[in-house]
Amino acid sequence: MAFAAPPRLRRFASLEFVLGFLLLGGVVFCVVFSAWLFAPPGQISLSTRLLMPFQDAAHLFGTDALGRDVLARVAVGGWISLKVGFLSVMGSVVFGVVMGLVSGYYRGIWDMIVMRCADIQLALPFILLAITFVAILGGSLTNTITLLIVSQWVQYARLVRGSVLTLREREFILSARAIGVKNGAIILRHILPNLMGPVVVLMTLNVANNILLESSLTFLGLGIDPTIPSWGGMLAEGRTYLQTAWWISVFPGLAILCTVLGLNLLGDWLRDLLDPTGRTNR
Amino acid sequence: MSSMMSFKKITVSALGLLLVSGALASPVCADGRLTVSSPQDPGSWDPVDTFLINWASVGTNLFDGLTYRGPDMKLVPALATSWDVLDDGTRIRFKLRQGVTFHDGEPFDAEAVKFTFDRLLGEEGAKGPQQSNYTAIERVEVIDDNTVDFHLRAPDPVLLTKLAGYGAMIVPPQYIKEHGETYFNTHPVGTGPFQFVSYEPKVGIKLKAYQGFWGDGPKLSELDYRFISEPSTAVAELQSGGVDVVIPPTIPIAMIPTIEEDDNLDLVTTSGPTVYALRFNTAEGITADERVRKALIIAVDRRSIVDGILGGQAQVIASFQGERSFGFDPDMQPLPYDPDKAKQLLEEAGVSPGAQVQIDIRGNDATFTEVTQAISAYLSMVGITASIHPVETNTLLNDIIPQGKTGAMFQQSWGGWTFDFDNTAYAMYHSGQKWNPYDSDPKMDELLESQRSLTDPAERERILQQIAHYAADRALEMPLYSLNAIYGVNKRVKHFVPAPDNRMRLNDVEVE
């Protein structure tokens, strides 16, 4: 190290953190302050359809098939996409990790119940589940997020349960139990930190996945009103225009790319930071 | 070494085959291969098994009906050379063409016609979707080898047209009896200009010229169809020369410039059977008021939508039918765009600005989703807030519409290859029909029923036009547009005439 930063600060001086923070932070900043930074997405105007990007200061990213400003739509559309991406992953992580910890640590009847529920869940195809959701609850943003949580918590539960099964037999857990540490404390202080690495990696992958799933759900009618912009929806809209008007799908695609890349870099950094064994530290 | 040998052998035998087939070729000079990209594989080539228009784009080349209707929409003789309508339209006598043989060598005669319709109206036909279109036929009677009588339960003015396609295609009795129904599904035999060579499910079907064809012989020696459902793949194949023709419904409006800009390709379009409308919930909500319905119609600039979003590949319609439909009135004009009058009508009807309407649309129809967004923008200019509700297509068609659970407006796309307004109007407007969950109007019912038994086409056309006017007066739907059938064609293909209904017969087509 060329400079002698205090250990606490040095954690933040990694390339992963700086890049990840800039990318994700930039996107989140633009989305959150879109109302002040950009012109509102504006009305449909058929006279200004499919304008090229970087030609007109009023439409820096061009306009879409209905004459709406792509830049403004990307900024505003981020709200829906980030909401769906983050909330659905947060929801399934919290639920899945708790279920996985309980079933892996306590075993017995809890393990039976949780894992059979997981099996049932995995036996249901996603599309079938989605259509059932439409039929019973109708389509809305909340329902979309709920559906994603219901269909994805199992991934986390199984991942966590697997790690817990090996961890609970390790010496440091056995010794903690031998000196009388309570179960809750063992789970929180000794087991949870040891399995957060893979969970964080899975999380970062799923955020991107869910942003795209939100748009494919519109095909099933579970999605949201197409007049409300979202990144996935814009990608789907722009698909048929790819050869004639690339900018409709490229800019929301770039936004997703930045978000996901930023998240992955931060995820890597976070995993290193959380790893209590310190093996992956450089 | 041995692989070399076998390669040589193959070449030699292939050469031999070529020589033999060249020697046997009839005077018709069939040459060249045409490759067509079709978006769907019907799975079975049996005429009674399908209603998919892309069955017809292949089937029209394999099979013949008693009558034929080409792209010019005129009904002409095919396997029947003439017919007489007798007994007030309840009996039709057909004189059959002589000297026609099926692709397997079997002769075509009156027994084949009787077999075809007994099969269609019997057990085998009951398994497929075609039977219901031909229920007017009570039985077919063989008079002699070249004459048949069709006995009808009631006159069916559209029957002669319906004999030109789909379920009424004449099939070979001996061949089916010998090989069985299942074999026939994947090894079709007919009397058409092309005969079956091979079929690979989900990949393609290959045909070759049938030298014994009774009409103008095919000018192509081979006709291949490839099933390509993804539009961008089909267009890329067209650009690279992998396929020569891309048939509807494949090419999305957004890709039209790609084809137009390519020097090797032609965009060929013709007005098709499919019409689009947003229909109203006439039973409840603000759209129960006729003035509100009219206001919503004139609040939307349908002309700009067609020119802008649909690239001009559609015609604005005044009633729920296209210009080729029997019952179309050329003097009937779409209501003009008039937002001021719309506001005034809404005020009269007591609808306050900010009123909500919900529009239910099919979730998988990308172009119509754009159209609906533009409509919602136009409605917002007269103070109506429209929310768009995309629904899974099957749920919309089989649950939400029939059960009357739609919003104030809902998408209806409709089109029948017979191009007869009765097919549309009866299903849309008659009380108690699956597609008409909201409206019940004795006058409309009477009009619809009155034309069904008429044998005089002129009188029937007059009543159908009257129905169209009456539906427009009551503003039962917001008629939007009739969409063109869009074909992408390589310039090396000559004499290609676009079929409005995908029933394209390719015996006149040549390739360079």
**Between chains, do B377 and A43 touch, taking CB under 8 Å as contact?**
yes
Instruction: Please check whether residues B330 and B369 belong to one and the same domain.
Output: yes
Instruction: Please check whether residues B370 and B501 belong to one and the same domain.
Output: no
Residue B16 has pLDDT above 60, yes or no: no
Neighbours of A185 (CB within 10 A): 10
Nearest CA in chain B to A133: B392
Range among A135-144, B285-294, B410-419 with highest mean pLDDT value: B285-294
Instruction: Please check whether residues B491 and B364 belong to one and the same domain.
Output: no
Ordered by where they begin, the domains of chain A are: 23-274 (1.10.3720.10)
**Between chains, do A131 and B392 touch, taking CB under 8 Å as contact?**
yes
* B111/A7: higher pLDDT: B111
**Between chains, do A240 and B364 touch, taking CB under 8 Å as contact?**
no
Average pLDDT, chain B: 88
CA–CA distances in Å: residue B309 to residues A106, B235, B314, B417: 60, 20, 10, 26
Residue B7 has pLDDT above 50, yes or no: no
Instruction: Please check whether residues B10 and B127 belong to one and the same domain.
Output: yes
Is residue B232 a part of any domain in this protein?
no
Residues of A in contact with B254 (CB under 8 A): 65, 240-241, 244-245
Phi, psi of B206 (to 5 degrees): -115, 135
The C-alpha of B233 sits at a distance from chain A's nearest C-alpha, in angstroms, of 11
**Between chains, do A66 and B309 touch, taking CB under 8 Å as contact?**
yes
Output the DSSP codes for B87-122: GGGTEEEEEEPSS-B-TTSPBP-HHHHHHHHHHHHS
Residues of A in contact with B370 (CB under 8 A): 65-66, 237
* Residues of chain A that touch chain B, judged by Cβ-Cβ distance less than 8 Å: 43-44, 46-47, 49, 65-66, 131, 134-135, 139, 218-223, 225-227, 236-237, 239-245
Is residue B231 a part of any domain in this protein?
no
**Between chains, do A65 and B392 touch, taking CB under 8 Å as contact?**
no
Token output for A155: 């991934």
Residues of B in contact with A237 (CB under 8 A): 366, 369-370
Domain containing residue B441: CATH number: 3.10.105.10
Q: Which domain holds residue B211?
A: 4-220+486-511
**Backbone φ/ψ region at A11: left (φ over 0), alpha (ψ -120 to 50), beta:** alpha
* B95/B426: higher pLDDT: B95
**CB proximity B366 to A under 8 Å:** yes
Is residue B377 a part of any domain in this protein?
yes
Q: B365: pLDDT confidence band, cut at 50, 70 and 90?
A: confident
Instruction: Please check whether residues B51 and B194 belong to one and the same domain.
Output: yes
Interface test with B, best of A50, A230, A241 (most B CBs within 10 A): A241
Q: What is the pLDDT of residues A206-243, one digit of tens each?
A: 887 888 787 777 656 555 677 788 888 888 788 778 87
Interface test with B, best of A220, A234, A247 (most B CBs within 10 A): A220
Share of chain B above pLDDT 90, in %: 63
- Look at residue B120 in the predicted model and tell me its pLDDT: 93
Instruction: Please check whether residues B319 and B456 belong to one and the same domain.
Output: yes
Residues of B in contact with A245 (CB under 8 A): 254
Q: What is the pLDDT of residues B387-413, one digit of tens each?
A: 888 887 778 888 889 898 899 999 998
Task: Please report the number of interchain residue pairs, chain A to chain B, with beta-carbon separation below 8 angstroms.
Answer: 85
Instruction: Please check whether residues B477 and B500 belong to one and the same domain.
Output: no
Interface of B with A in 224-263 (CB under 8 A): 231-232, 235, 252-255, 257-258
Q: Is the pTM of this model over 0.95?
A: no
Is residue B255 a part of any domain in this protein?
no
**Between chains, do B363 and A65 touch, taking CB under 8 Å as contact?**
no
Interface pTM, i.e. ipTM: 0.70
Instruction: Please check whether residues B156 and B186 belong to one and the same domain.
Output: yes
Q: B244: pLDDT confidence band, cut at 50, 70 and 90?
A: very high
Edge-first strand order for the sheet with B137-144 is B80-86, B91-96, B147-152, B137-144
Domain containing residue B12: CATH number: 3.40.190.10
**Between chains, do A46 and B305 touch, taking CB under 8 Å as contact?**
yes
**CB proximity B101 to A under 8 Å:** no
Closest partner residue to B366 among A139, A237, A242, by Cβ? A237
Interface test with B, best of A48, A66, A73 (most B CBs within 10 A): A66
* A196/B114: higher pLDDT: B114
Instruction: Please check whether residues B72 and B192 belong to one and the same domain.
Output: yes
**CB proximity B198 to A under 8 Å:** no
Let me know: does B133 contact B162? Beta carbons within 8 Å: yes
Is residue B250 a part of any domain in this protein?
no
Is residue B441 a part of any domain in this protein?
yes
Q: Which residue has the tokens 């306050």?
A: B352
Work out how many domains chain B is built from and give that number: 2
Instruction: Please check whether residues B190 and B318 belong to one and the same domain.
Output: no
Is residue B234 a part of any domain in this protein?
no
- Look at residue A248 in the predicted model and tell me its pLDDT: 87
Q: Which residue has the tokens 């909330």?
A: A87
Instruction: Please check whether residues B193 and B173 belong to one and the same domain.
Output: yes
DSSP state of B400: I
Is residue B182 a part of any domain in this protein?
yes
- Look at residue B11 in the predicted model and tell me its pLDDT: 42
Instruction: Please check whether residues B210 and B305 belong to one and the same domain.
Output: no
Radius of gyration (Cα) for chain B, nearest Å?
A: 25
Token output for B428: 């849309």
- Look at residue B29 in the predicted model and tell me its pLDDT: 52
**CB proximity B180 to A under 8 Å:** no
CA dihedral A272, A273, A279, A282 (to 10 degrees): 80
- Look at residue B303 in the predicted model and tell me its pLDDT: 92
Q: What is the pLDDT of residues A126-164, one digit of tens each?
A: 888 887 877 777 667 888 889 889 989 999 999 999 989
Neighbours of B98 (CB within 10 A): 12
Closest partner residue to B254 among A44, A223, A241, by Cβ? A241
B380 Cβ neighbours under 8 A, 6+ residues apart: B386
Let me know: does B239 contact B29? Beta carbons within 8 Å: no
